[in-house]
């Protein structure tokens, strides 16, 4: 069973996504990564988006 510290927190995830987008923007502006390179990286992750979705209607409370 997960402790309260290990449970998914949407606000933490939102901050992580924001930080990742900011890092992508910095990499693009600095020339560290090209737009094409970022697209390839993000397309790779996007392929898993459908399988990562959670149907909360089919879930039950553990607490």
* Dihedral over Cα of 15, 17, 20, 25: its sign: negative
The dihedral formed by the CA atoms of 31, 33, 34 and 39, expressed in degrees to the nearest 10 = -150
31 lies in which domain range?
A: 9-52
**pLDDT, tens digit, for every residue of 15-60?**
999 999 999 999 999 999 999 999 888 887 777 766 666 677 777 7
Kindly state whether residue 28 falls inside one of the protein's structural domains: yes
Kindly state whether residue 42 falls inside one of the protein's structural domains: yes
Q: What's the pTM? A: 0.58
- Pick from 18, 11, 17: nearest CA to 49: 17
- Domains contained in the chain, number: 1
Kindly state whether residue 17 falls inside one of the protein's structural domains: yes
pLDDT band at 1 (very low <50, low <70, confident <90, very high): very low
């Amino acid at each position: 069973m997960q402790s309260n510290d290990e449970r998914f927190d949407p606000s933490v995830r939102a901050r992580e996504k924001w930080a990742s987008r900011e890092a992508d923007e910095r990499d693009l502006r600095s020339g560290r990564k090209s737009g094409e390179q970022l697209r390839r990286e993000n397309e790779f992750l996007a392929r898993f988006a459908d399988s990562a979705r959670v149907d909360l209607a089919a879930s039950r409370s553990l607490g």
